[in-house]
Amino acid sequence: MSIFTKIITGEIPSYKVAENADFIAFLDINPNAKGHTLVVPKKEENKIFDLSKEAYASLMGFSYQVAKAIEKTLPCKRVGMSVIGLEVPHVHVHLIPLNAMADIQFMQKVTFSKEEFVDLAEAISKNF
């Protein structure tokens, strides 16, 4: 069972910004930038291209909606998207508010208090 499945089942807490029957979106707790959000299918699958075409299209559609909510919430030049999948064997899309190329490079990290995470998750959720 992946750490994301544990988040989905509520075993591990998260800062959820959006959810439907098939997907969940929550703030990355080790973010590249403020608003860095992970979009995860509820059905555990290791590789994105092992998803059915329909599940892949649905994941992208849900990610689109979350990205639009992030754009409404945080000032940024754009919301970037990355799918790497090596760190957790459960499909996930990184949505990262970008103001510079360094924001997407997974080398710099920013830190926030629990209250800042809660406030940010609520703000993005309201724009979803």
User: Where does 3-126 sit in CATH, by number?
Assistant: 3.30.428.10
CA-CA distance, 88 to 86, in Å (whole number)?
6
- Is residue 108 over pLDDT 80? no
Predicted confidence at residue 105, as pLDDT, reads 85
- Is residue 51 over pLDDT 80? yes
Cα–Cα distances in Å, from 117 out to 57, 76, 83, 123? Answer: 29, 18, 22, 10
What number of CA atoms fall less than 13 Å from residue 122's CA on the CB side? 6
**Residue 94 is a catalytic residue:** no
Predicted confidence at residue 107, as pLDDT, reads 79
Candidates 36, 90, 92, 94; catalytic one: 92
When pLDDT is averaged across residues 75-84 and rounded to a whole number, the result is 96
When pLDDT is averaged across residues 106-126 and rounded to a whole number, the result is 91
Which backbone phi and psi does 79 adopt, to 5 degrees? -105, 120
Annotated domain spans of the chain: 3-126
Beta-carbon count within 10 A of 19 CB: 16
